Structure 1
Amino acid sequence: MSTEIAQIGEQTLSPVAPRKPQAKGDATTDAARAILRAEVEHQHAKTARLRAARLAFEAQQPKEIPGSRARPLKPKTKKRAAAASAPKGTKHAATAALEP
């Protein structure tokens, strides 16, 4: 990328005899815009290349059946662990976990 910008910079920053005081500012503005344009074009090309690679990769992956994916499990907290191991019919899961 830096070589592309350097090449563009060399082309647009070639010595030009300014006619007015504003001409120097215009030359700088034109050079900056050319550099930005080159960066944007480079980014678009990179995005297109990565999109094509992603689509090719996804095309090779096996298709999933919609809705067949299991829900992720919630992490068990102490209360949930105690409630899950408590015998049915007890009023408080925490007291049931303490009893032998």
Structure 2
Amino acid sequence: MAKLLKTTVFSSDTSPKETSLDKTTRIMRRITQDEAEVRHQKTARLRKARFESEANSSDS
């Protein structure tokens, strides 16, 4: 019989497989982050436009 090493018996070269719940969670987090980024960009753009509008109206 072949002699087994301690590292041979309990080693696992492959990572655990991603479950469907993990996959769903990962996808939803990415979607949520993407939506938040778009929302922040839109808010910044609107804020800048408002400040420019207020600056122009106060000059008149």
Give the structure-1-normalised TM-score: 0.42
Q: Which of the pair has the greater relative contact order for Cα pairs under 8 Å at 6+ separation?
A: 1
Letter in 2 for 1:42: Q
Go from structure 1 to structure 2 and tell me whether the alpha carbon gap of 1:45 and 1:18 turns closer, same or farther (over 3 Å shift).
farther
Q: Which whole-Å deviations, capped at 9, do the CAs of 1:22-69 have from their partners, x for residues lacking one?
A: 1101111000000000000001101110000000000111xxxxxxxx
Q: CA RMSD in A?
A: 1.5
Q: Which whole-Å deviations, capped at 9, do the CAs of 1:58-84 have from their partners, x for residues lacking one?
A: 0111xxxxxxxxxxxxxxxxxxxxxxx
How many corresponding residue pairs? 45
Asked if residue 34 in structure 1 is aligned to residue 48 in structure 2, the reply is no
Aligned mates of 2:43, 2:23 — CA distance in 1: 30
**What is the identity percentage for the equivalent residue pairs of Structure 1 and Structure 2?**
9
Runs of 4+, deviation exceeding 6 Å:
none
Aligned mates of 1:18, 1:54 — CA distance in 2: 54
Give the structure-2-normalised TM-score: 0.67
Structure 1: gaps spanning 5 or more residues: 1-16, 62-100
